[in-house]
Amino acid sequence: IIKVTTHTSTTHVDTSSSAEALETDANDITVTCTAGNKLHITIAGGHIFSSGSGFYFGAGMQIKESGQSDVDVFGGGCYARSDGGGYDNDMLPCIIYTHTAVTTSVTIKGATRCSGSNTAYWEANNSAGRGPRRYMIQEEKV
């Protein structure tokens, strides 16, 4: 490991109706690296929950490099069970992925997705002690 970059975001990402949503541009992270090296990316923290029941939802990330197709990665999700009208289908999200850099500048965005007509939220603030979304990117020399 030749470099470690960290980042914290306190914005939320939410999506609905069988869609995916990305963190806004001002809250993502861009790392400078050596093309061909591996980036070990971890996003953890905050909390993800649903507005209803009967659908799947989960956390992920999008990796963007100029001139390349975006890479969308989603980890294991959660099935929203009957919640009696409350927002209690929640989990503490974590997504881990290893990406080989093609260019020298890689942008990473937190993401969420859901199936069905309800809404999934990835909150990342200090409400109820949940805390921010934290990024750690380790660059491995290849």
Tens-digit pLDDT profile for residues 92-131? 889 999 999 999 999 999 999 888 777 888 888 876 667 8
Tens-digit pLDDT profile for residues 118-129? 788 888 887 666
Tens-digit pLDDT profile for residues 18-66? 788 999 888 999 999 999 999 999 999 988 887 777 778 889 999 999 9
Both tokens assigned to 46: 């905050």
How far apart CA 82 and CA 109 sit, in angstroms, is 30
Q: Is the pLDDT of residue 85 over 60?
A: no
Contacts of 57 (CB under 8 A, 6+ apart): 48, 50, 77, 78, 80, 89, 112, 113, 114, 115, 118, 120
The b/e string for 20-53 (b: 16+ C-beta within 10 A; e otherwise) is ebbbeeebbbebebeeebbbebbbebbbbbbbbb
The b/e string for 84-108 (b: 16+ C-beta within 10 A; e otherwise) is eeeeebbeebebebebebeeeebeb
